[in-house]
């Protein structure tokens, strides 16, 4: 049975994928001038400030009182555990390609946890898309060497993003009502870890502009789009769109920074798209 997607959903998904994909390139530029946790703190600090302004304008900056513990747990998982452990995994030897492939297990985990029945065709499509991701990030997989601690942080990041999206799917409040508290919770986690990590806050324009882009278009714009998609669509389908991010990032890297995408990378992007089409079909 085929799945039909309204035009609005397609547009919103496209905006989300484009914004989310730009994050890796913008982060790479920013990290040439400052440390990872300095960029992360500035990113979520800016996002929280803007979301609080939106909440004040709408007359609500906190979710319904009874939901506060649930919202904080979701924020802890997505903004705290996922964001921090992603950086810590790379710090302990995992290359971005390996990390992207490990995190690509998320849609399969989500499928296993949230749906009792699933077709072989859907599993085959998700595996094909995951193989496409591995082809795109092949250079990051070749000769990858990492310790047990790096793998533990990667698995914690996977657990955080998977649990967070599943819990967010159960949320009935508007995204702008829950994101401020979620980001405040995540920011508290990052602040707790930051003293134990190298910290260099740069005032270079490239660093500040990178933080601005990560904080506003991505942490506010893309996150609001993601939450709207989670609320209105099938969770496995929504998380599966993240398979497109490595390929789109590679194309942006080619267009913006002049780093060409190898033929295997193009084939991987095609395999990812074909796998998603098979999964959604």
DSSP-derived 3-state class of residue 270: helix
pLDDT class for 256, splitting at 50, 70, 90? confident
What are the pLDDT digits (tens) for 222-235?
999 999 999 988 88
Residue 261, φ and ψ in degrees, nearest 5: -95, 125
Q: Is the pLDDT of residue 173 over 70?
A: yes
Q: Give me the chain's average pLDDT, please.
A: 88
pLDDT class for 217, splitting at 50, 70, 90? very high
What are the pLDDT digits (tens) for 76-124?
999 999 999 988 887 787 776 677 778 888 888 898 888 877 788 888 9
Q: What is residue 120's predicted lDDT score, i.e. its pLDDT? A: 87
Q: Is the pLDDT of residue 145 over 70?
A: no
Cα dihedral across residues 168, 171, 173, 174: positive or negative: positive
Q: Is the pLDDT of residue 139 over 70?
A: no
C-beta separation of 207 from 268 below 8 A: no
Q: What is residue 164's predicted lDDT score, i.e. its pLDDT? A: 94
DSSP code at position 105: T
Q: Is the pLDDT of residue 61 over 80?
A: yes
Q: How far is CA 150 from CA 34, 90, 161, in A?
A: 22, 7, 17
pLDDT (average), residues 185-209: 93
Q: What is residue 1's predicted lDDT score, i.e. its pLDDT? A: 43
| Element spanning 55, H or E | helix 36-58
DSSP-derived 3-state class of residue 37: helix
pTM, 2 dp? 0.86
Q: What is residue 218's predicted lDDT score, i.e. its pLDDT? A: 94
As a whole number of Å, the end-to-end CA separation of the chain is 7
Q: What is residue 182's predicted lDDT score, i.e. its pLDDT? A: 96
CB burial class (10 A; 0-12, 13-18, 19+) of residue 274? middle
Distance in angstroms (rounded) separating the CA atoms of residues 180 and 223: 12
Would you state the structure tokens that stand for residue 99, as one six-digit string?
Answer: 């990390």
Q: What is residue 5's predicted lDDT score, i.e. its pLDDT? A: 63
pLDDT (average), residues 179-198: 94
Q: How far is CA 205 from CA 30, 37, 46, 202, in A?
A: 9, 18, 16, 9
């Amino acid at each position: 049975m085929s799945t039909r997607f309204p035009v609005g959903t397609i547009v919103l998904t496209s905006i989300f994928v484009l914004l989310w994909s730009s994050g890796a390139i913008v982060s790479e530029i920013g990290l040439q001038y400052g440390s990872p946790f300095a960029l992360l703190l500035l990113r979520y600090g800016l996002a929280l400030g803007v979301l609080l302004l939106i909440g004040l304008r709408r007359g609500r900056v906190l979710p319904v009182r009874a939901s506060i513990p649930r919202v904080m747990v979701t924020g802890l998982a997505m903004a705290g555990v996922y964001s921090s452990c992603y950086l810590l995994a790379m710090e302990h030897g995992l290359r971005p390609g390996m990390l992207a492939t490990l995190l690509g297990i998320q849609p399969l985990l989500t499928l296993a946890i949230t749906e009792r029945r699933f077709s072989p065709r859907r599993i085959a499509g998700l595996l094909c898309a995951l193989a496409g991701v591995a082809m795109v990030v092949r250079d990051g997989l070749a000769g990858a060497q990492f310790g047990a601690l790096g793998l533990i942080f990667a698995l914690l990041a996977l657990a955080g993003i998977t649990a967070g999206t599943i819990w967010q799917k159960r949320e009935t409040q508007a995204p702008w009502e829950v994101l401020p508290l979620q980001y405040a919770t995540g920011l508290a986690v990052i602040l707790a870890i930051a003293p134990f990590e190298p910290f260099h806050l740069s005032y270079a324009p490239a660093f500040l502009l990178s933080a601005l882009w990560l904080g506003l278009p991505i942490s506010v714009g893309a996150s609001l789009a993601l939450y709207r998609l989670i609320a209105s669509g099938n969770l496995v389908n929504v998380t599966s769109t993240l398979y497109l991010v490595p390929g789109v990032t590679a194309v942006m890297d080619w267009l913006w920074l002049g780093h060409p995408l190898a033929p295997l990378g193009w084939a991987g992007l095609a395999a990812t798209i074909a796998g998603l089409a098979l999964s959604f079909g």
